[in-house]
Amino acid sequence: MEPDSLPTEVILTHPRQSLGKVQLDWTPQPGNYLDFQGKTYAVLERRHRYQFKSGRYRLHNIAIYVQSAQRPAEKSLLNGRWVVGDATCVYNAHSEIVRCAVNPQGPCQDCRYYEKV
């Protein structure tokens, strides 16, 4: 195993099942998107699994819990992170996963509920 490569198990949340394992050279965070076996998934949760070896705990692998998703076409940079939709709207959730309460499917452009912050 390469030192910068993380052994990662990809687990579908509903129905709960393991989709397989993959070596990643980046750390998946909730809100990121992952292309795996020809499909796109949104990362919902990340869990570290440790192993006790030679008197200390070492990161053994990572499990990410995902759901099937489409990459959002609209994204805004807000305080150094990407959020879904137009972050200048008062109804935007400022989330990597959810756009807003009034128009969660989007698009933000020409939305009748749009109100500038």
Tens of pLDDT, residue by residue over 68-85, are 988 878 888 888 888 888
What is the tens place of the pLDDT at every residue in 27-58?
888 888 899 999 999 999 999 999 999 999 99
Own/partner pairs, 19-22, CB within 8 angstroms, 24+ separation: 19/66, 21/61
Question: Quick check: 26 pLDDT over 80?
Answer: yes
CA–CA separation, 17 vs 106, rounded Å? 29
Question: Average pLDDT of the chain?
Answer: 88
CA dist list (Å): 115 to 71, 89, 91, 95: 24, 5, 7, 18
What is the dihedral sign for C-alpha 29, 32, 35, 39? Answer: positive
* Residue 76 pLDDT: 86
Q: Give the pLDDT score at 1.
A: 45
CB 23 within 8 A of CB 7: yes
